[in-house]
Every structure is written in C-alpha cells, then in structure tokens.
A and B are shown apart, each in its own frame.
Chain A
Amino acid sequence: MMFIRSFVFFLGVLATFLLGWAGIVGLPDIMISKVGPPPGLKRYTADQLYGRSIYIREGCIYCHSQQPRPTGFGADQQRFWGRPAVPADYVYDKPHLLGTMRTGPDLFNIAVRQPSEEWHVLHLYNPRLVSKESLMPPYPWLFEEKLSPGPDEKPLALPDSIAPKGKVVVPTSEGKALVAYLLSLDHTYPVHQVAAENDTTAPKQ
C-alpha cells in the first residue's frame, strides 16, 4: 500500500512536469523549427560572430533587448526600433540574445538607427562621450593606446581632456569585432511571406 501510494505520487509529479515541458517548450519548438531563414537575413560572418561572443562575454544582454514589439504593445514602432520580430529572425542565433531588460534601448536594428562606426567606438570606449546621461559602463579594454595608428586603423576622436598625450586610441580586434556585430544588427528586411505562413506567430504590424 505504501509502495503504491509512493508510486502514484511520483508518477503524478513526473507527469505534471513533463506536460508543462511538452506544452510550452516542446510544441512551440516543433512549430518554430519548421521556419526557415527569410531571404533578407544574412548569416553572421566570422568577425560578426566573434563580436557576438564579446557581446555575450560582457553581458550586454542584461541591459539591452533584441526583440522589437508590435504596434499596440509599447512604443517600439513609434520609436522606429524596427518591425516586430518573428521567429525566423533568430534561426542563426545560439545562444539566443532576446534579453529581458531595457535599461538601454532595444538593439535589434541598431545598425539602422546608428550606422556610424565612429559613434559606436566612442560609445563603447566611454558611453558618456556621446550620451551624457547614460548609465552604461565603459569598455576601455576593447581599445589600446598606440604611438601611431596602423595602416587600416582610425584613431578615436577623443576630446583633448581625456586623450592620452602623444598617443592615439584605437579599437583592438575585439573592439572592432563587437562594432562589426552591432553594425550587423539590421532586421528590417521584409518577412511578410514568412509571417503569412506562420499566422500563429507574434501579431503582425
């Protein structure tokens, strides 16, 4: 009797657990796994992938989301943060970087809003150089000081007050890669075709 009761208990515990897993992870995953990449979505280049790993390493995800919301749900559309994201936008992403926080703005289409490489390097070197009230940490270790820039390098346009004397500051390969990743974040290509095939995905614009 004691054995049977324990057996029923553990069966119930296992069953309730597996049901939830199948329901909200298994089923959506099966649906989404049928989605192919939209024609406009490019694969990451090696450099962009390297930059993406820096994005993960420095924990950018804790303050920046990558998932514009649809009209009628927040102001993402009025802020021109890009059309609502669909599962197809993420087929090349592992780990996913959807994010849960907007201490800073959404970055899914930052390359469109801010295409300037010069702006991005300054912003990463010290965010307050380009956005005075920003709370973002500086990332000086993505930069190095040199006596003179290399042939392909463009030194940062730092104000005299913080520029090192007699030296120039240029992004390291990590800094360049991170900027390359940020400048790859453009998901403004059309996805109507994909969205029509999957009418259960996020609400359309």
Chain B
Amino acid sequence: MSTTTREESDVKSPAAAEQQIADEVLRINIDASATSPTVLFLTSGIFWLLVGSALGVIVSLKFNLPEWLGSTPALTFGRLRPVHLNTVTYGWISLAGCGVIVWLVGRLCRVEIRWRGLLYASAVLWNLGLLVGSTLVIAGYSGGMEWLEFPLPAAAIIALAFVLFAASIFKTFSVRQVEHVYVSLWYILASLIWFPILYLVANSGAYQGVGEAAMNWWYGHNAITMWFTPIGLAAAYYFIPKVIGRPIYSYYLGLLGFWSFALFYNWNGLHHLVGGPLPTWAITVSIVASLMMFVPVMAVAVNHHMTALGHLSIVKYSPTLRFVVFGAMSYTAVSFQGSLEATRTVQEVVHFTHFTVAHAHFAMYAFVTMILFGSVYYIMPRIAKWEWPYPTLIKTHFWLSALGVAIYVIALTVGGWLQGLAINNPTHPFIEAVNITKSYLWARSIGGTMMTLGNLLFAYHFALVVYRAGPRRFAPAWMQKVVEVPSE
C-alpha cells in the first residue's frame, strides 16, 4: 500500500532516499495508467448526474404543479421518475464509482491498471446502455419493476459493461505487488462478484407473481447495499486515513464490519414488503437481518470516526475530508434509521409514504454521492496535474449539496410520517393524506433544486480541471487558511 507519508522524507540514508524516489516514480506511473479510464468514467458519471438531477427537479415539481408538462406522454411523471432513478444510480453513482475504483485499485495493488482496453469498452457500452434504457422507458417500454425498468436490451448492454470492468479490475488485482490486501479492496472485489450475479438473476425473468416481488426487493435493496454502498465504504476507508495521515483505527473492526456486512445485508430486501402478501416468516427474517445491520454499521462507524477523532479540524480546509466525513456520518445515521424503519411498528406508518423516498435520498446522496464528491476532489488534481482553481466554488458546492439534502430529507421525513398517520386514520378521507404532504413537497423541490445547483457547480469545476483551465494553483485548494499542514 502506498501510504508513504511526508514524514518519511526526513529519513536521510541514501538507500532510503533512493527507495523514496522509486516509490514516487512507481506512484506516478500507476496514476498515469489510471488517468484515462478514470477521467472517462468520472466524466460519464457527472454527465448522468446532471441529466438525473434535472429529471429529479422536474419530477419533484410535477408534485407541486400536476398539470405542468402534462400533455406530452414522454414527459409524464410515471416515465420520467424511473429515468431519474436509473440515471442517478446506474449512471452517476455506478460510473463515477467505477472511476474511483480504477484509481483506488491501482494505488492499493501498487501496480499499473491492466487490460485498460476493457475499461474503455466498458465505459462506452455502459453509456450506451443508459442511453438505450432511458430512451426506451421514456418511449413507453418500461420493464415495470422498480429498479429494473430498463428493458432487456439495455440491461444486457450494462451487464456486459460491468463484466468487462470487473475483468480488468480482477486482472490488476491478480498481479498486485502488495502483501496485505487493504479493507477498501475487500469491499470493491466483493461488490464486483455480487452485483453481476444479482443483476443477471434480476433480469432473468425467472419469477412470477409474489415470488417476483420477493426477487424485486431482494434485488432493489441489494443493488444499494452490494454495489453502491461498497463503493462508498471503500472510498471512505481509503480517504479518511489518507487525508488525516494515520492508519485506520482497527483492522479487526474492519474484518468484523466486512463479514457481518456480507452476511446480514443480503437478507434485508423483504422489509420492502412488510404487510404484503408474502410468507410472514420471510418478512420477519428480513426485519431481523435489518436489525442485525447494527453490527456492521457500528463496526464501520467506530472505525471511521475513531480514525478521524482528534483530527476533525481538517474538515475545515480539506474538501476531500469534509465531503467524505459528511458521507461517513450520513452512512451511520441512515443505516440506524433504516434498521429502525424496517420494524413493523414503523413500517405500519411509513411503508407507502414519502418517508421512504427521504430515506433513499439520505443514502444515495448524503452518503454515497457526498463520498464520491470527496473522492473526486482528491483524485482529479493528481491525475490531471491541475489543482481545483476556485476553493470558494468547492465551499459553495458543499453547502448547496449539504443544506439541500438536509432540507430534502427532513421535509420528506416529516411529511411522509404525517402522510402515513393520515392514511392510517380511517375517519378522514384519503385526500387528506395527499393534502397534508403538499407543503412538504414544495420544500423537497427547494432542497432538490439546491442539490442540483451544487451538482452543476461541481460539474463546471470538474470541467475546468479536465481542461486545465482557470487560475493555476501550486498548492492544494484548501477551503480556508491552513493552520497545521495535513498530509494531503
């Protein structure tokens, strides 16, 4: 692992100095091998982030103004909403995640990235799959199941892209030059095995009726927990110690966290069907597994937060640490919420409400997306050889995204809860459950618009770095004056 810290440069012996230079050269070569694929994946991801967030805002406004864009079939709520979900998850998070993974794997395996042709092919195919899938859903060819709306041709292209991507990463891993395989790699490698099987099973069409519903939500939950979450956790496990400049708090907690994660998460899915027409035992198993998630979540939380403890002042100036710590804290919070949310008592109220939508955005934006932002802030200057030109822009991005998602989550959590209570109150007509959400849905539109503006600033800034535009900086783009120099 290339965790050579700056202090080591103080070592004076000639042999050590030579080793130091060799390490630097190796690292430059590794980063160089990752540059093109990483930039390709990140650029694609950010493109879909913009598409997906624009759709998100439109879809949100349709709740406030139901007649708006209401006479065009292609712009109706029921078609744009799945395209929003699919572009932000299979587009933004997956592709940006792939970009981060490529770079991390080079660094963590200490070798240049192998089979890079497969990575280019993967990125091109992946984009094609997203384009075909989105177009088909808008044209009216949705597969019909949530998280699986892309019809077979698009799903097949994306599956192929994923396999090509995984092949390159496994090849690189197989020629690694490290004794110890770091925690981040466990999560990455596991997810590269889990997700393709999951995606193939889900698109196989092998199920029918309620059995299909069970598969649907096993898949829907696992797509989040066995692909998007490992990306976020792998990045957090790498960047928190990296920026702070000290090792992760506990190897054994990492081990416990990973294996309990693998064991329990996979059984969670049926909590999406609590109260539904499934065998009660199966749903109960999922609720128990959801509560068991306290184990991996606390292991990861303690590990991340104990590593950062005492160094939290760095979040004032390091963009990477600020975004990643925000994401890691959100992971703890959203997971605790998720475990409690899975219980029958809470499900009775929130099951069919906007509360769930708030929870989803808490996870996918406040946790995964914020960590991806932080990772990109770290990676780009190193591979583009160009610092972020405007630190103020980073700060503005952070506050727009952080406050935006806070407004979003709080508004829909409260609104969704009230909606659930109203649905469950039979003495009042159903329409009251609709009316009670209306002001909260406006607040959601405001929060969502702020998040979208933050994403736009980020995309603009990213483009400047790719094109090496804007004022040239020779020092890291800290968000405020640095008192003590961290090792970033």
* Interface residues in chain A, defined as those with a beta carbon under 8 Å from any beta carbon in chain B: 9-10, 12-14, 16-17, 19-21, 23-25, 27-29, 31-33, 56-63, 65, 67, 69-70, 73-75, 78-79, 84-87, 89-105, 127-128, 131, 133-141, 198, 200-203
Contact = CB atoms under 8 A, between A and B. Distances in A.
B279 A200 contact: yes
B266 A25 contact: no
B348 A73 contact: yes
Given A16-B262, A20-B222, 10 more contacts: A12-B259, A28-B211, A58-B78, A60-B78, A62-B82, A63-B77, A67-B276, A74-B351, A87-B210, A202-B278
B435 A133 contact: yes
A106 B99 CA distance: 42
B144 A56 contact: yes
A16 to B, nearest CB: 4
Classify the interface of chain A: helix, strand, loop or mixed: loop
A9 B141 CA distance: 40
A28 B279 contact: yes
A100 B210 contact: no
Nearest to B185: A9
Interface of B: 62-63, 66-67, 70-73, 76-79, 81-82, 140-146, 186, 189-190, 193-194, 197-198, 201, 207-216, 218, 222, 226, 259, 262-263, 265-267, 269-270, 272-273, 275-282, 285-286, 344, 348, 351-354, 356, 423-426, 430-431, 433-435, 437-438
A105 B437 CA distance: 14
Contact of A102 (B277, B348, B352): B352
A28 B278 contact: yes
Contacts of B433: 102
Given A75-B424, A137-B62, A100 B266 contact: no
A74 B275 contact: yes
Contacts of B434: 103-104, 133-135
B266 A17 contact: yes
A90 B209 CA distance: 5
A37 to B, nearest CB: 10
Contacts of B82: 59, 62
Contact of A74 (B79, B189, B348): B348
A87 B26 CA distance: 60
A98 B213 contact: yes
Contact of B212 (A27, A79, A89, A95): A95
A150 to B, nearest CB: 23
A29 B146 CA distance: 19
Nearest to A198: B279
A139 B76 contact: yes
Contact of B262 (A17, A23, A78): A17
A140 B73 CA distance: 9
Contacts of B269: 24-25
